Structures are given as C-alpha cells and as structure tokens.
Structure 1
Amino acid sequence: MDDEHALLIDCGLFQGAETSPEGRAGAGRLAIDFSLDGIKALVATHVHIDHVGRIPYLLAAGFKGPILCSEPSAKLLPIVLEDAFRLGFSRDQKQVERYLKLIEQRIVALPYKQWFTLIDTPQLNARIRLQRAGHILGSAYVEVDLHYPETGEKKRIVFSGDLGAPHAPILPAPKAPYKADILVIESTYGDRLHEDRRSRRKRLEKVLEHALSNQGTVLIPAFSIGRTQELLYELEDIIHRRALKESAKGQSSASKPGTSKAATLDWTNLPIILDSPLASRFTAVYRELDHFWDAEARALLAKGRNPLAFRNLLTVDSHQAHLAMVNRLAQTTQPAIVIAGNGMCSSGRIVNYLKAMLGDERHDVLFVGYQAEGTPGRQIQRFGPRNGYVEYDGLRYDIRAQVHTMGGYSAHADQAGLLKFVSGMRNKPGEIRIVHGEPDAKRELARMYRALYAQAGCPLNVVVPG
C-alpha cells in the first residue's frame, strides 16, 4: 500500500511438484520466508489449505494483526486450522484449545459487499470489500481501495482469490467487479474449458451405471471443502430423479397384464459413503449456513429435500470403521460410491481404498478436479488409461480400475469464466497480474487477455510473475 503499510492476501501451503516429486503439501516449505514488517492484516479469500495452511506458522513467526475473512469463512477457518495444527504442531488437546482461542480472537468476519477501513491517516486511506467468488462456501474476491490524500491519487486493486465456475451447484456465480486499476487473478484453468453442467451430470450418471452393473465401487478423491458438497448435491439429484423414473416404470408395468418387471439398477438403495471426518464437519457447516446457498438449492429445501443430508448418505468417522469399509467393498460385490480425502491422493483415507481396489477392473476412479503435477492423483490420471501403475510407500500398484476425469466439476472458473471476469468490468484494469496456475495456463490466459484488449483497442500490461 505504501512503504509503511502492507496487506497480506492468503498464506497457504504449496502443493504438487512445486513442493516435492511426491507432491506432498509443502512439508519442507512451511517457514515464513518474508518480512512481517508493516503487514497490517491478513485477508483469507477462502479456507482451502493452499490459501490458509501456513497461518499457524505466520502466527508463530510473530504476526499480530487481524485475520479478515467472510462470515462463512469465519465458521470454517477454525476447523481447517485445527486440523493443520494437529498435523504440524501438536495433538495435545490443551495446546489445540489454546491455539483455537487465539485464532478466534484474531478473526474478523466481514459481511459481503460492505467496505471495511484498514488504515485512515493523513497519508493513506485504505479500505477493503469482499465479494462472493463462488468457489466454495465463504470464498471471496477482494477489492482494495487506496487513497493518498496528499497527492490525490486513488487506486483500486482487485485480488481474485479462486473464482468459481458459473453453473456450479449450491453457490451463486461470481459477478465481475465494477472496476479495477490492477487485477491479480488466478489461472488454474486458464488454458481449458469445462463441460456444461448437464453434460457432466450425464457423464457422472454413466460412470455410476457402469459401477452398479459391474458390481464395483466408484472412488472419488475429493477435497473436504467445496467439491465434496457439490458432489453430494449432484448425487442426491441423480438418485432422486432415477428413483422417480424407476417408480413410474414399475407402475406402468404393473398396470399392463402379462408384463414382467424387468431387472433395474437399484438407485434407491445405492450407498453414498462419505469417508472423511473433516469433510463431514464441513458438510454440517454448509447445512447450517444454507442462507448463503443459491436460489436453486434453497428451493430444494423448500420442497423438503436436503441435498447434503439424504437417506443414501452414509458417513464413516472412526479409523476402525474406515478400514472395515475398505475391506468390505474390496471383498464383496456391493456397488457403492465412496468420496474420501485427500483430493490429490497423496495421503488420507483415499489411499487405503486405492491400494485395495486399483488392481480390480470392477472398480472406477473418478477425478472431478485439478490434480497437481507430481501428485499420485496426476500419476493415476495419466497412467491409468495405459494400464500403468502408481507407487505408494515404495510399492507399485497396478491400475486396472477404469479411470475417468470430469473437469466440469472443478470448483475453479475455466478460461471463459476468467475472461468474463475481466470483460464484465465497466472500467477494466490497465494491468493484469496472472498467478496461481501452471506455466502453460498462465501463458495461454495472458495471450487471451492481450487478444481481448487488442480487439477493443485498449492498452494492457500483462505481468506473469516468476
């Protein structure tokens, strides 16, 4: 902001090949390697670990300022940071409780669309405003207004955080800001387009049909926040519609003398297994904060349906119950859908399912989002269709299960969404800084922005930080 005042946007873990060949979540890059001098506040755009995972280390390094976030994120952030503290610092309950109390004292929950003044001096007036980003519950992009009274200079900087896909379930789509002088924008899918929601739902249904008919299990590695809740929403809707369809067919057949009821897939009793205590906690918060849902999701609630708490949904909490579920599904022929963490298959309960089931062609692995380079998830995604293998703990596991990828279920905006975020502004930025993506995605998005501005005859400075 100036020589004496700075604002920190997010403080997360590195993931994938940017951390290690194994794709572990930044285990060797946790220390805070930048100066805290002048940082007046931390803004958490959302609570995914790659945006907030180093907050415990930030506090340990001596950061004393507030943690600003949206009201839903204020509910979710302590859960995320409790998990991070247990993994990285201590499992001692008293230490955990003291740490959580410190976190809750630092959090300042900001309503969407309201300005919050950070600094008000004769030299600088700085304020921020959070707007819905549509990525996960509580996600926000950040508008920063800077006014220097002595010179009269005014500047607005917008930080996108992670932007959501426009037709994702549960949350409203992000709307472009009115203006920006400088835009700092993510580029995760800057070189790709997603499937539309109807197409991806049909594809998901086909995968499920295969698993049911083949008496196998669909394994879905999913992140605890956002992707899991979207999947539950879509699965509830598929099961609801198929059950209605099968019921109508049954009534029609029964009304015709001499017809026999054909064997049908038993959608009504298909178990959806959520095997992640952390995801279960987040799902409970999603249900609690249903007033932040979009109109479609709230309309389902009004009809008596709950897409995040339905009859087919089973949760697995204890580690013992988890191991029993892995053995049961691997050794029996009961069709099921399992959603388990972590999303990139580098650790967590999904690894036990993969070790037990990858070698059996009855099963399917369904990736519904980004797999960072260097992670086991990327290896399965790349080598599974070639009957390759993946390594865990020094052992090779052959991939005989079918592997599917559905980019449309990503919680990130695709290239079209990232372009629309800029084209939808009334006063467009003269400078765009492209971050948070792989090199090819950054380069392609930069090319598309230059083309967009050239078509309009407007100057643009695109910066792609190294």
Structure 2
Amino acid sequence: MKVSVLGGGNEVGASCLHIQIAGTSLLIDAGMRMNGDDPLPALGMLESLDHPKAVLVTHAHADHIGALPIIHSLYPNIPVYATPPTADLMKIMMKDSYKILEQRCRETNTLPPYTEEQVKDLLNSILLFPASGELRVGNVKIRSFRAGHILGAVMFLIEGEGETIFITGDLSFKAGRTISGAQVPHHIQPDVLIMESTYGNRAHTDRNTEENRLAKHVSEVISNGGFVLIPAFALGRAQEVLLILQDYMDKGLIPEFPIYVDGLVTPISKIYNNYPHFLKGPVAYRIKNLGDAFIREGRCRAIHSKERESVLSGKPGCIVASSGMLIGGASSWYAERLVSNEKNAIFITGYQDEESPGRKLLNIADGIEDHIELNGTSYPVKCLVGKYGLSAHADANEMNRFIQTLEPTYTLLVHGDDEARKQLSNVIDSKFHPLLVENGETYPFEKRKSGKGVIGKRYKNHANAILREKIGSLLLYQKETEETYQLAICMNVQERTNTLICHTLKGKQIKLGLGQIKETICYWNRSIDELKEAAGQVLAFSRPYLESLNWNILPDGNLLLKDIFQIMHLDSIKSQLAVSLAVQSLPENYIERVQPGITTYKIDQSIKSRLTKLALPIQGLQVNPTYAMDIARNYMAGHPRFIRCGVDDLGTEKERLTIYFDFPHAVSENERAEMADTIIKETGWPIHFSESVRQDLLQEELTKLLGNPIQTPSIHLYERKVVVSISRSENTDKMVGQFRKITGFTLQFKGQNASTQQTGKERELFQSKTVSKRLENNQAMEETKRWAKEREITIYKTSIKQEESTTIMEVHFISPEIAKLHDIELEELSYRIGMPVTYAKSPKQNEIIRLTVQLLPSSWNLKKNPSIHMDKATVSIKLSDMPVEDEITIVSEKINQATGYVLEVKV
C-alpha cells in the first residue's frame, strides 16, 4: 500500500491524494489553494505514479475540487465519483473556482491552468456514487460514510486484499443546523487512517453560545444604524448563518431586520432545498412547508450585483455574502465600502487562511494592524470586527477520540498547518503511529506475510480494556490530599503504568490511577465550554439540581451509577454531575468498589430519605461563605432595615448566615420567612436573624420625627417600648404610628398610659360599619380566598393576627401600594368574615422582580436583576442602552399596574 501526497498535506488547501492498494490506484480529491502564487497540487508527481482507476470526491469545497478539470483532461476516460448533492454543488463551485483562477491570472499576467471548456467536460463526466454507499473499482471495495462537514460530504473506507485505508476528508462531529454530524464507523480498525487536522490545536467553543453572540451582536449593530457584513463560505457556513438569524427572529429573541444574500450563497441554498432528505428534520420541514428554508420573502432577499449600491443606500441590515475569507467576490466589494465606518461591523464565522484578507482583519481586531488591503487598495479599519466559532471541522479532542475509536495501525495527519498537526500528534497515542506528512512525499506500507493488514504493531483489544474504556469519558476523581471531588476528561492511557492521561476542565494534563477515579459519569462529546459552565455551577452549588429529584423511584438494592441515571431519567449533564456527587456522600458501607473502575451503591429506604432531605455531606450543598454573604447583601440591598450579614461558627462543623437589622422588630415574621427561603435557595446556608437592636439609632429616629433633639429617652427592650419626657401633642398619634412602623417599638409620651393603642385608622384596619356574624378562623381564611377569586384580586397569603382581645385578618398583596387600591373591597371582606381586616406592610420582593423582568421588552438588554427600594416603592433596572421615552412610559405603566411600584431606568 502507498499513499502519495500531492497537496493538502502540511497545509489547508489543494487537497489531493494518490492511493495505491491491492494493485488498484485511486485519486482522492484534487483541490486548489485559495492564496499564493501556485494554486494547484503537485500534479507532476502523477507521471511517476500508477495510472488511477477512478477519482473519488469527498465534498464540493474548492480546496478539494478546484484542480479536477486538469485531472480530467489528463485522464479523460477514468470515472469521477461524487455523491448526488456533491455533484450538483460542483456545477456551481467549479465555475466559481475557474473565475477565481482567471482573475488571479489576470492580476499576475499568467495563464489559467485550465479552460472553461475543460470545466464543462469535467462536470459532464461526473458519475454518482451508488445509493447503497458501496462501490467496486478494480480490486478494491469502497464504502462511504457521512462526514458531517457540509451537504453531501463523505469519508471513504477502501478495502482490498486484506488491507484497509480510511480517508476522512473534512469532517465535523457537531451537528449544525443544516446537517447531522459525522457517522462514526466502529470496529473497522483500518491499517492506515488519513485524518484532517485543521483545528488540531484547539477546542471549539460552545455552539449555542456562539450563535447567541452572533445574533445579538448583529442585531445591536443594525439597531444603531449600521450594516453588518458576514463574509461566509457560500457552501455550508452561509446556510448556517441564515438559519441562525432567522430562527432568533422567529423566537422573538432579536428584532426583525432585512437580510441581504449575495454571491454564490443564493444558488447553493437552492441546491440545499433540493435535498431535504439529507438535511435535519426542522430544515426539511421548512422546505416542505415554505419551499425555501434559507431565503424567505419579506425578510431575506437575494441580491444581484447591480443592486448592491441600492442596498447600502437603503435600510440598515445584515449582508451574508461570499467569499468567506474576503478573497474577491461579493463580500470583498461590500467590505471596501463598509470597513471605514465605525457604525458598521464585519463578523467572521469561519477558518481564515494566514494570507487572506479575513485573517488580516482579525489581526486588526487584535491590535496587530490598522489597515486592510482589498482588491489592491488599502483601507483604514474603523468598523467593529468580531469572530464567532461556527466551525464545520472537528476539534482536537474530537479527532483524538475518533482515532481511539477507529484504532488504526498508522495515522497520517493532513489538511492542517504545522502547529495544528504537531499539537494533535502530541495528543494521539503513540501506538497509532501518528505521522506528519509532507506535500510531494510518498508513504509506503508493507503488507504482512499473513496477507492481512500492513506491518506494524496492531492495537490489541484485550489488554487493559478497563483503562481504554475510559478514553473520552468524563471522570469524577479525588486527590488523596483533598476532600473535594474534581472533573477531568480521559484523553489516553499509559498501559505500562496503568494510568489514565487526562485533561482537567482548565486544559491542564494530569495522570490518574484507577484508584483515584470515583466515577465515570458519561462519554463527553460536546464542547468543553458547555462542560465548564455546567461543572462550575454544580461543583460550586449542587443543591438546586438535587432538590427536585425523586429518589423514591429507585428500587432497593445495589445499583451502578448508569442504572441510577436511567431509572431517574437524568439526561442533563448538570443533574448527572449532581447525582454523582450525591452518591459519593453515602456512608462507606453503602459504597462497594466491585473492581477497579466499577462501583455499586446500596440503596434502601433510609438512604432515599436522607438523599431527599439532603441530610448527607454532599459537596456543594452550600456556596462558599464569601459568595453566600455577597448573595445575601445583594438581595437585602434595598431593604431599609438591613445593616449587614455575617457567618457564625457554631462549632461541630456547623455554620449559619446571620442577618442583622437596625430594628429587627419592624420586620415581620412573614417577611423574614420570605427572606430566609430566598437566601437558602440561592446559597444553601441556614439563616438566622439577629434580634440585636441598634439602640443608638432609636434616638436618631425620634429626632427626625419630632424635628428637634430631646433628652435621652428611656428604652425598654423587653417590652419594646420607648418613653420620652415630652408631652403629647395633636400629632402624637401619627408619630406613634410612624415610629412603630420604622422601629417596631411603641412610643410612649410623658403621662401617657402604657396601654394606649393606635386607632384603627393608623393601624390601617378596615371594619364594616354593618355588624355581621364572625366566622371561625379557618372559615374566615377560606372565605377570604373566595372573596379574592370573585373580585379577581391577587393575594399571596392570609393569616390571623391577635392584638389584645381583637382578632384581625391580615391579607398579603404583592405590595402595600396595590392593597391601598382596594379599600372598598377590604371593607366588604370585613363584613363577609365578621372581623377587622388589615394588609401586610411588606412587599413580595421576589414576585415584584419576577413580574418586572417578565414585562420588560426582550430588546432591552438587562445588565443585572432589578433592585427593590421599599422606602420609595420603586423597582430599579440597569440597561446597556436607554430606550425611547414613549416605550419607557408604556412599560412603566404595566409594571405599576401589576406591582404598585414605579419603574426607574438607569444605564
């Protein structure tokens, strides 16, 4: 077996491989370089290589098909095979490749490598790869597998006379919006794997995060009056971008704006529409119902070159245009006109060759340069430049796991720059013999005497199977010197020492023995950013993910972790992480290490009860003390009585969070309960309220009420009473009410009887003038609920209060301000239940915040949660940009009607 690399070996571009296997020679792809003086592979090598029997095309990108007209002119009688979508896409992409070559030749005063007629001859000669996915050429059988890169992209497994070679082409395991990810062929164990390595030196960011960033940033630029240019590869990337923007509009996450589609994007999108059975369900559904999944009338418009000037003189919008690297084409034309205006933006979404204008633009964004050359002219860059990770290539972690799955004897790394291939080769297990191939070189592989496979140590399946099963898995481990559990992904194994080579979530390489591995949580194949976010939340605070779990559905007995996941239907990584931590907290006699790497957990009624009550030392049940206090301070920031909070060490490893008020008796038990519930939910800490009174502030409050300093009052803490040495006046009753509301203390004047109480009016009591039968307490509470339902009044709670010999019904509204709107109804309620009625004086802060957020327009960019100011009855929000005055007025009225609070908007 021989592999000759004509192009695309130590580079991204001009991919072309000559394969000789079982006496049959094949060519895989023949692409062109997008930059540089020499666009073609080393086709001269073909003179010294065996005559190919067929050409196989992996996919229709120019760097894989751009040189095929020359190949066809050299070998006009050999078949060129492509999948049906690839064949259709080639008809557009080949003509575009010819235009690029022709333009480049005009600029350099050179001859084009082939003619337009040769392009037509090639396109007329393409044969379709069989629908069965299998093809025989000479002495070999060829099988195709979905590559997930773009529509129609495939990988090839070539088998003949006991030898096998697997060629990936470009592949992607992350399912995009248009097509599914690569199909993984298990158990093939090829002798030689030829693997692309475009992103061999990096891990992809979370796709959802990147899509969200792109949509929101595009919307912001257009809202501020600018144009956004997205130079996108017309084949694959552009379709993804169009779906992202329109999906965000459909869901109301960004406002509607015009999308202009220019260049090759339009005809290629039409081909996608012709293959709904190759696309993902939601896209196929749109095609069936709308006729076009990408260009939709009234929102997304295809632009002819003659209309470009009118687009830029019209309403601001987003322009999705080819080429993706700003190398000529429609995107280059727009960039020349947009790049020097600070209102505009150019957003890059794909790979950029080192010499491309797109790469120069990213350098400018990094502060390396400040001018860009487009079509021979230099322009200062003043527009916003952004980069978004929507890659259609596998990353280093995925490629390594793919190699571990295929178990090849040799791995040839192609289609990547030196840095990417070198870093990838360092990660790949040496037993797979990674080779960094070079253009112009031939790599021979001698056949075994047995006739099966090529010479080279074959990876054995049976030795150290437990270790190898961990590769690609997310592991929960614990260092001997630490109590906390941590996470790592197993990248490889070192069989000689029985250790696992792992990467922490921060990317640090560590070696772990099986004894340190507490659990294998799952096989991880999504982005590392997604995992870091989930793990950070759960390891720091596991309580929210455990509180809602129904442990009682587990049967009694010894269970594996995967059994627990399955029975409890845990698909979320956060829930799985939380449960993994929870079972580690079981008593030692409930955890059995059956064999290295395999653990069972004894489940019985007592354990299920303790897990339900969270009565086990589970990691993350409480956030750290500093963060807990920050959460409490932020929550209490708007409360007029709050002073500070602190952590109390009660000994025997018990701690609590204590809240301090200046006048604790002015804060009702109901209000305290609400505060405690909220803070416990957000921190996991038990809450204690200090009863300590700031006596120094009592006199300060008296001075404010009376308007002038007085002699030191007599403070009776036990009776919650303050006696002042001044006589009563006509405003005394009002002062008494205000003082009680602020401090929770009774104010008594010289000569006043201690039992003198406030009148019903000051206490805000509502009493029917008509006497009615007093209902029993429970009946009264039920009647209150019926009253609220009949009157369509929202109340949150009812409670019975006893003041001396008087029984009072207290009704809890969202705020006292809303309660005051129902004076007549409250008097009617008094008649219906036969007792006085009052309302709770404390607002439902969480509910006010929730309703405020709910009523805010989605276009308002809320920077943090609203804050409550009870003393002013206002709810304050902070935005990135100030909305228009009319919109603020409308929203404020809605919030005021719902909560009784006035909206304050800040930027």
Give, in whole Å, the separation in 2 of the partners of 1:232 and 1:349. 16
Displacement of 1:117? 0.4
1:462 aligns to what?
Answer: 434
* 1:207-237: CA deviation from partner (whole Å, max 9, x where unpaired): 1232123211111111111111111111121
Counterpart of 1:32 (choices 43, 57, 62) is 43
The one-letter amino acid paired with 1:129 is R
Q: SS where residue 183 of structure 1 aligns?
A: strand
Tell whether the 8 Å contact from 1:4 to 1:38 is kept in structure 2 after alignment: no
1:131 matched to 2:117? The reply is no
Tell whether the 8 Å contact from 2:21 to 2:163 is kept in structure 1 after alignment: no
Displacement of 1:301? 4.8
* 1:360-392: CA deviation from partner (whole Å, max 9, x where unpaired): 111111110100101111000111342711123
Tell whether the 8 Å contact from 1:112 to 1:129 is kept in structure 2 after alignment: no
1:294 matched to 2:280? The reply is yes
2:73 aligns to what?
Answer: 60
Displacement of 1:104? 4.1
The one-letter amino acid paired with 1:7 is L
Tell whether the 8 Å contact from 1:143 to 1:159 is kept in structure 2 after alignment: yes
Displacement of 1:97? 8.6
Give, in whole Å, the separation in 1 of the partners of 2:278 and 2:382. 42
2:331 aligns to what?
Answer: 350
* Residues 430-441 of structure 1 aligned to structure 2 (within 5 Å): 430-441=409-420
Give, in whole Å, the separation in 2 of the partners of 1:86 and 1:385. 32
Counterpart of 2:296 (choices 310, 313, 331) is 310
Q: RMSD between aligned alpha carbons? A: 2.5
1:442 aligns to what?
Answer: 421
1:398 matched to 2:380? The reply is yes
2:156 aligns to what?
Answer: 142
1:274 aligns to what?
Answer: 261
Counterpart of 2:341 (choices 357, 360, 371) is 360
Relative to 1, partners in 2 of residues 1:204 and 1:360: Cα closer, same or farther, differing over 3 Å? Answer: same
* 1:34-58: CA deviation from partner (whole Å, max 9, x where unpaired): 2154111111100100000011122
Give, in whole Å, the separation in 2 of the partners of 1:201 and 1:48. 23
Relative to 1, partners in 2 of residues 1:401 and 1:202: Cα closer, same or farther, differing over 3 Å? Answer: same
Relative to 1, partners in 2 of residues 1:101 and 1:348: Cα closer, same or farther, differing over 3 Å? Answer: closer
Give, in whole Å, the separation in 1 of the partners of 2:221 and 2:175. 27
2:851 aligns to what?
Answer: none
2:401 aligns to what?
Answer: 420
Tell whether the 8 Å contact from 1:218 to 1:366 is kept in structure 2 after alignment: yes
Give, in whole Å, the separation in 2 of the partners of 1:101 and 1:395. 34
1:226 matched to 2:236? The reply is yes
Relative to 1, partners in 2 of residues 1:115 and 1:30: Cα closer, same or farther, differing over 3 Å? Answer: closer
Tell whether the 8 Å contact from 2:332 to 2:375 is kept in structure 1 after alignment: no
Give, in whole Å, the separation in 1 of the partners of 2:266 and 2:345. 23
Relative to 1, partners in 2 of residues 1:3 and 1:166: Cα closer, same or farther, differing over 3 Å? Answer: closer
1:372 aligns to what?
Answer: 353
* 1:113-162: CA deviation from partner (whole Å, max 9, x where unpaired): 5221001xxxxx21111111011111011111111xxxxxx111111000
Relative to 1, partners in 2 of residues 1:175 and 1:34: Cα closer, same or farther, differing over 3 Å? Answer: same
2:86 aligns to what?
Answer: 73
Relative to 1, partners in 2 of residues 1:421 and 1:460: Cα closer, same or farther, differing over 3 Å? Answer: closer
1:321 aligns to what?
Answer: 307
The one-letter amino acid paired with 2:351 is Y
Give, in whole Å, the separation in 2 of the partners of 1:305 and 1:225. 19
Q: SS where residue 243 of structure 2 aligns?
A: helix
Q: SS where residue 229 of structure 1 aligns?
A: helix
1:175 aligns to what?
Answer: 183
Q: SS where residue 130 of structure 1 aligns?
A: strand
Give, in whole Å, the separation in 1 of the partners of 2:357 and 2:222. 26
1:196 matched to 2:206? The reply is yes
Tell whether the 8 Å contact from 1:137 to 1:226 is kept in structure 2 after alignment: yes
Give, in whole Å, the separation in 2 of the partners of 1:100 and 1:336. 36
Counterpart of 1:389 (choices 343, 351, 371) is 371
Tell whether the 8 Å contact from 2:222 to 2:228 is kept in structure 1 after alignment: no
Relative to 1, partners in 2 of residues 1:30 and 1:9: Cα closer, same or farther, differing over 3 Å? Answer: closer
Counterpart of 2:96 (choices 61, 83, 98) is 83
Of 230-239 and 430-439, more deviation after overlay is shown by 230-239
Relative to 1, partners in 2 of residues 1:30 and 1:193: Cα closer, same or farther, differing over 3 Å? Answer: closer
Per chain length, whose mean CA-contact separation is higher, i.e. which structure has more relative contact order (CA < 8 Å, sep 6+)?
Answer: 1
Displacement of 1:100? 5.9
* 1:179-230: CA deviation from partner (whole Å, max 9, x where unpaired): 2221001111111122222111211122123212321111111111111111
Relative to 1, partners in 2 of residues 1:395 and 1:304: Cα closer, same or farther, differing over 3 Å? Answer: closer
* Residues 5-16 of structure 1 aligned to structure 2 (within 5 Å): 5-16=24-35
Displacement of 1:435? 0.4
Count residues with an aligned counterpart. Answer: 403
Q: SS where residue 217 of structure 2 aligns?
A: helix
Relative to 1, partners in 2 of residues 1:56 and 1:441: Cα closer, same or farther, differing over 3 Å? Answer: same
Give, in whole Å, the separation in 2 of the partners of 1:55 and 1:229. 25
Give, in whole Å, the separation in 2 of the partners of 1:132 and 1:10. 16
Counterpart of 2:270 (choices 276, 284, 291) is 284
Tell whether the 8 Å contact from 2:148 to 2:175 is kept in structure 1 after alignment: no
The one-letter amino acid paired with 1:183 is L
Q: SS where residue 45 of structure 2 aligns?
A: coil
Tell whether the 8 Å contact from 1:366 to 1:405 is kept in structure 2 after alignment: yes
1:47 aligns to what?
Answer: 60
* 1:332-371: CA deviation from partner (whole Å, max 9, x where unpaired): xx32110111111121121121111111111111110100
Relative to 1, partners in 2 of residues 1:44 and 1:271: Cα closer, same or farther, differing over 3 Å? Answer: same
Displacement of 1:305? 8.5
Displacement of 1:83? 3.0
2:822 aligns to what?
Answer: none
The one-letter amino acid paired with 2:267 is R
Counterpart of 1:429 (choices 392, 408, 414) is 408
Of 125-134 and 72-81, more deviation after overlay is shown by 72-81
Relative to 1, partners in 2 of residues 1:443 and 1:364: Cα closer, same or farther, differing over 3 Å? Answer: same
Give, in whole Å, the separation in 1 of the partners of 2:128 and 2:224. 48
Relative to 1, partners in 2 of residues 1:113 and 1:158: Cα closer, same or farther, differing over 3 Å? Answer: farther
Displacement of 1:5? 3.1
Give, in whole Å, the separation in 1 of the partners of 2:365 and 2:123. 44
Tell whether the 8 Å contact from 1:32 to 1:61 is kept in structure 2 after alignment: no
Q: Which runs of 5+ in 2 are unaligned?
A: 1-19, 104-113, 439-907
* 1:303-342: CA deviation from partner (whole Å, max 9, x where unpaired): 759531323111112x32234434x26xxxx321101111
* 1:95-124: CA deviation from partner (whole Å, max 9, x where unpaired): 9896565334421211465221001xxxxx
Give, in whole Å, the separation in 1 of the partners of 2:22 and 2:164. 18
* 1:252-286: CA deviation from partner (whole Å, max 9, x where unpaired): xxxxxxxxxxxxx7x23x1111111x221111010
Give, in whole Å, the separation in 2 of the partners of 1:83 and 1:209. 31
Counterpart of 1:115 (choices 134, 146, 156) is 134
Question: TM-score with structure 1 length normalisation?
Answer: 0.80
Question: TM-score with structure 2 length normalisation?
Answer: 0.42
Tell whether the 8 Å contact from 1:384 to 1:403 is kept in structure 2 after alignment: yes
- Percent identical pairs in the alignment equals 27
Give, in whole Å, the separation in 2 of the partners of 1:4 and 1:286. 38
The one-letter amino acid paired with 1:132 is R
* 1:49-101: CA deviation from partner (whole Å, max 9, x where unpaired): 000001112223344311111121122112222333455579xxxx9896565
Displacement of 1:165? 4.2
Q: SS where residue 232 of structure 1 aligns?
A: helix
The one-letter amino acid paired with 1:168 is G
